[in-house]
Amino acid sequence: MIKKYPPKLVLLGICLFILSACETDDFIENNTTITNTTTAEDVKLYEKWFDSSKLPDIEEVFSEESLISEKQLDAQIAIQKSSNSQPVYVHYMPWFQSKETDGYWGQHWTMTNQNPEVVHEDGRRQIASHYYPKIGPYSTKDKDLQQYHLLLMKLSGVDGVIFDWYGIRDVLDFQNIKEGMESFLKQLNKTDIEFAVMYEDRVIHEQSRALTPIQISQAKNDLQYIESTYFDMDNYIKIDNKELLMIFGPNYIDEEQDWSEVLGSLKEKYNVLTLWGAQDIIGRQNTNGEFAWIDRGHLNTLYGYYNYNVDFNDVIGGVSYPGFHDFYVEGGWKPADSRQWSIDRFDDEPLVNSFVETTKHPVDFVQIATWNDFGEGTMIEPTEEHGYKHVEQLQDLTRIGYSHEDLRIPYYIYKIRKQFPKERYVRFLTKRAYKYAMKGKLSRAKWIISILLMYYGDSYL
């Protein structure tokens, strides 16, 4: 999802940004504790989670847990929130399919020329990305995947999820994206994590090359669906008691009068946010603010935007990101002569620096862009290349109060489930470990996981 901010921001901000570099370094040193991360994980980490001299039989653990009802477990204290003054949301792509879950590999793993059925010597499947998920390519509809992501988010200090959303029509893979999001919501709604929707108006362009009353009607139907289906949910994100509706762009509907008609079809007025610099396209009377995104100018662009191009009387969404390195040319989604750019994850810790720059300003929330856009290489989800580095950095930035070691809990649960999907002890006890961890009872979750790994082995980790 590439969107460039007008180049003038780089010119406006670059000089003062350079002058403020030392000040920014001081801010990082004095106000954050960023721990260096390792690239390799010791799979025996779980052995520290139990007393080997008192290792119980797994049947005893099963019996003990069986005495605790689901109601008793659900009543336990919820996990602590981050201490960040601005909520932290992650931008989430609900658009992945896998052969195991869906019967086929979706286009966001294949693009035009990659085949996940091809397995390399190192055990990795061939996918359309420069990066490889630590758990391998997956389906958004997989319940195990959903719980893996949600628990990682909780332990990283994430407050909410912003779903990329493409409408209700069955065009291209848009219906699959909608179904993926709604499947994910079934698990998300069992937690205290919030969510909101970011609408892609370019779906209208895919339905017709010319903007007609039919396309305007379709945009109305899309937003009315959002309003009637999601806004009534208790955990939908609100700012000043008004639901948040984000629009990535607009990219296709570019007349104020058309947006007045589309938004006027909703029952109420909501917090409508456009991409940065696009409020005038939709109309100031139709919007409440805007949100920042990733730009090739990186910190220069962010500095110029926050200092010279934004009215903080509006609702403003800030942004933080770990890098940018898309696979579109290699995957055949862009011609070979396309102009390329990237933000290197190794050069200057972009996730940390963009977060620090953003939180120096009175933004209403910080959007992490993204959780899992592997095609553009902006994900913070754990990968083979970077391990847990970015979720560990986010954990430090949000000051959630949990350790880097705790972030291994979701991985262990996911891997045990996939290795032994029919074992009754595994099914029951991983469910318990997940619930304990979501409730903040990490010691109990770790203890259960360590018993399972000692009993079943760990060669698959």
Residues 289-346 have pLDDT tens digits of 999 999 999 999 999 999 999 999 999 999 999 999 999 999 999 999 998 999 998 7
Do 301 and 321 meet the contact criterion of CB atoms below 8 Å apart? Answer: no
pLDDT of res. 72: 84
- 277, two tokens: 């610099």
Q: Which residue has the tokens 């079934």?
A: 186
pLDDT digits (tens, 9 = 90+) for 116-135: 999 999 999 999 999 999 99
Count the neighbouring beta carbons within 10 Å of the beta carbon of residue 263. Answer: 21
Angle, alpha carbons 201-205-207 (nearest 5°): 110
Tell me how far apart the alpha carbons of residues 62 and 70 are, in angstroms, rounded to a whole number.
Answer: 14
Do 378 and 294 meet the contact criterion of CB atoms below 8 Å apart? Answer: yes
Closest by alpha carbon to 216, among 273, 244, 255? 255
Tell me how far apart the alpha carbons of residues 230 and 378 are, in angstroms, rounded to a whole number.
Answer: 26
Percent share of the chain, pLDDT over 70 = 88
pLDDT of res. 43: 65
Angle, alpha carbons 94-95-100 (nearest 5°): 105
Tell me how far apart the alpha carbons of residues 195 and 103 are, in angstroms, rounded to a whole number.
Answer: 28
Average pLDDT for residues 389-406, to the nearest whole number?
96
pLDDT digits (tens, 9 = 90+) for 181-212: 999 999 999 999 999 999 998 887 765 556 78
Average pLDDT for residues 258-287, to the nearest whole number?
96
pTM of the model: 0.90
Closest by alpha carbon to 128, among 286, 315, 333? 333
Average pLDDT for residues 224-245, to the nearest whole number?
97
Terminal alpha carbon distance of the chain: 32
- 236, two tokens: 């939908």
Per-residue pLDDT for 162 more than 50? yes
Per-residue pLDDT for 29 more than 90? no
pLDDT of res. 12: 44
- 390, two tokens: 């970015």
Tell me how far apart the alpha carbons of residues 170 and 197 are, in angstroms, rounded to a whole number.
Answer: 18
Q: Which residue has the tokens 């009754």?
A: 424
Rg of the Cα trace of the chain?
23
Average pLDDT for residues 19-29, to the nearest whole number?
41
Percent share of the chain, pLDDT over 90 = 77
pLDDT of res. 14: 43
pLDDT digits (tens, 9 = 90+) for 75-120: 776 556 666 789 999 999 999 999 999 999 999 999 999 999 999 9
- Residues 6+ positions from 63 with CB-CB distance below 8 Å: none
Do 93 and 100 meet the contact criterion of CB atoms below 8 Å apart? Answer: no
Tell me how far apart the alpha carbons of residues 372 and 384 are, in angstroms, rounded to a whole number.
Answer: 14
Per-residue pLDDT for 426 more than 70? yes
pLDDT of res. 13: 47
Query: Tell me, what DSSP letter sits at residue 80?
Result: P
**3-class SS of residue 13:** helix
Tell me how far apart the alpha carbons of residues 194 and 196 are, in angstroms, rounded to a whole number.
Answer: 7
Per-residue pLDDT for 28 more than 50? no
- 47, two tokens: 């052995």
The CA-atom distances, in angstroms, between 409 and each of 79, 140, 430, 445 are 14, 20, 10, 8
Tell me how far apart the alpha carbons of residues 115 and 328 are, in angstroms, rounded to a whole number.
Answer: 15
Do 141 and 102 meet the contact criterion of CB atoms below 8 Å apart? Answer: yes
Of 22 and 191, the one with more pLDDT: 191
* Average pLDDT taken over every residue of the chain: 89
Tell me how far apart the alpha carbons of residues 197 and 226 are, in angstroms, rounded to a whole number.
Answer: 8
pLDDT digits (tens, 9 = 90+) for 352-362: 999 999 999 99
Confidence of residue 411 (pLDDT cuts 50, 70, 90): very high
Tell me how far apart the alpha carbons of residues 127 and 106 are, in angstroms, rounded to a whole number.
Answer: 10
pLDDT of res. 78: 59
Do 199 and 187 meet the contact criterion of CB atoms below 8 Å apart? Answer: no
The CA-atom distances, in angstroms, between 81 and each of 87, 157, 178, 194 are 10, 7, 29, 12
- Residues 6+ positions from 294 with CB-CB distance below 8 Å: 2, 3, 319, 321, 324, 343, 369, 378
